Structure formats: C-alpha cells, structure tokens
Amino acid sequence: MPRKISEIVEEARQMPYGVRAELIEQLIADTAKDIDPEIEKAWGDEAMRRLKELEEGKVQLIPGEQVMAEARKIVGLK
C-alpha cells in the first residue's frame, strides 16, 4: 500500500534544512517538466507584453501596500 502524503511530509520535516531544500528543488524541477509548452509560452508572452506596457508608460505600478490595503478593505478586514 502506498504511503500517505502526511507520512512523507512528516518524514521530510525530520530532515536537516539543506536536505529538505534539495528535496523541494528536485520536486519543483520534476513538476516543471509536466508544464505544457504552449501554456508556458503564453505566460512568457503575457509577461513580455506587460513589461512592454510598463516600459512605454502605458501602465503604472501600484505599490504592494496600497494593493493590500484596498484588498483588506474590500473583504472587510479594515
């Protein structure tokens, strides 16, 4: 019978920090191999489009603090 995720996570928590970090890196790298190349390209194209808009002055960045304050207000936290 396969091990439960919770058992694997608990075992990983017992590992030294460096070993856990290496495990995480390998899992992320393996997961990235499964990404659809078309989706990856679409995200890259979108990022480049947004960067170009910033560079051309078509849009302006909003400070993170302002964004979070507005989000908290919308959800009723402030």
What are the pLDDT digits (tens) for 4-39? 999 999 999 999 999 999 999 999 999 888 889 999
Looking at residue 78, its pLDDT comes to 73
Mean pLDDT over each residue of the chain, to the nearest integer: 94
For the whole model, what pTM was predicted? Answer: 0.52
22: in domain: no
Q: Which residues, other chains included, contact 50 with Cβ-Cβ below 8 Å and sequence gap of 6+?
A: 59
Looking at residue 2, its pLDDT comes to 84
pLDDT over 90 percentage in the chain: 86
15: helix, strand or coil: coil
**How many structural domains comprise the chain?**
1
Q: Give the structural domain span for 42.
A: 37-74
17: in domain: no
